[in-house]
Structure 1
């Protein structure tokens, strides 16, 4: 019985000595704080304890998980950026297509309007752009020049170009004989130059917001003949007005 008690005391004493540990060493690292605990006993065994190995393994696993999460977040950000770039490219293409369609529609509308004010194929005017037009034709043209019933908005030719021989609202190109360039016809209808009757039609459709006059009609013929003489007067040449 005494022998068993001595053995028990020796075992308890050895256990007490093994539980005696050194102070923990705290190691600061860039990613955080790592705790390394080492256990030493009084015997010749100076290697790390089971607790030290466990903590090192746990730290390594946590570090690996953090790196994995960081990589996952980076991949997610890359995918999000790729999707955003794709959406932006898609929106840019859609805007480009929309602008292209709008430009195409504008050109189509301009072409339709040009057909309304441009001389028809095979059309031969009755008046002359070289002058010598009948006096009665010029008188009728002058009356229509002041007639605001031709428009849909109360305008007459004289509203923009003056009355009683005060010729206003013309560009310098109006000094040239017909056909010549008229800025409004060029910009709005794509016609680099116009005849007198075409200029009348441009004014009917654009400023006066009305339907063009009938080609070969008495109203269009007389107004065109009158404008030939107005052009001569504006250029300082002899005229029949």
Structure 2
């Protein structure tokens, strides 16, 4: 390689470095190319072979610089877009989680509200017993009535008939209000009154609407179940 070619190679390398990092000022003269290096360069550069060589080098370095700038801009834009997409995804996930949580809470609250005593409600039967015999007789009729359900079940279908009590947990031996597993598991109720237990059986096993609060059906069934509870517990009862 000639000394002149080696000089041109070094010059091209220096131009690439200067244009990429220090953005020098380039000036083309009519009789040749004079390059003024940016501050901090270790030597001035001169005697390029021809104006056309310098122009080609200038155009090449401008193209490389523009391509690098474009690549950096595209990378920044892509990074911002990905960041925004991640933020939107997180926001949507949080919103969906909150909506699901609210829906579950409303569902559980609505279910317990259907079977729990309304605020200020006062039942027409006594939970300690001594209810009228006609009320107990009506309650016994309803205990066997399959028309109360939507699936052909009656209270007796799960809890026995003719005094053959069955299907009760040990907690049923305690006076009302007491714990009922179905009430706790499906409705989040820690304990229930006799009329609330009747409503739970209406909604869950019997797949029907709750009885009207204060109705003759609900009052009679609840009074009857008070006596059934005493019978299961081995206590004196009026049945």
Using the size of structure 2 for normalisation, the TM-score is 0.65
Structure 1 residues 162 and 66: alpha-carbon distance in aligned structure 2, compared to 1, 3 A threshold: farther
Question: Pairwise CA RMSD of aligned residues?
Answer: 3.6
Q: Which runs of 5+ in 1 are unaligned?
A: 1-20, 28-46
CA distance in 2, matches of 1:82, 1:56: 39
Matching of residues 75-224 of structure 1 within 5 Å = 75-164=73-162, 165-168=164-167, 170-224=168-222
CA distance in 2, matches of 1:87, 1:96: 14
Whether contact under 8 Å (2:212, 2:218) holds in the other structure is: yes
Q: Which runs of 5+ in 2 are unaligned?
A: 10-45
Deviation for aligned residue 1:129: 1.6
- Select the structure of larger CA radius of gyration: 1
Structure 1 residues 68 and 121: alpha-carbon distance in aligned structure 2, compared to 1, 3 A threshold: same
CA distance in 1, matches of 2:77, 2:233: 71
Secondary structure of 1:221's match? Answer: helix
Show CA shifts across 1:24-51 (max 9, x none).
Answer: 78x9xxxxxxxxxxxxxxxxxxx98727
Show CA shifts across 1:82-105 (max 9, x none).
Answer: 212212222321232233233324
CA distance in 2, matches of 1:162, 1:92: 54
Show CA shifts across 1:164-203 (max 9, x none).
Answer: 42411x3443232111222333444443322100111122
CA distance in 1, matches of 2:118, 2:131: 22
CA distance in 1, matches of 2:235, 2:59: 102
The aligned length equals 203
CA distance in 2, matches of 1:94, 1:161: 48
What corresponds to 1:50 in structure 2? Answer: 49
Show CA shifts across 1:61-96 (max 9, x none).
Answer: 646644652453243233223212212222321232
CA distance in 2, matches of 1:59, 1:192: 86
Structure 1 residues 71 and 187: alpha-carbon distance in aligned structure 2, compared to 1, 3 A threshold: farther
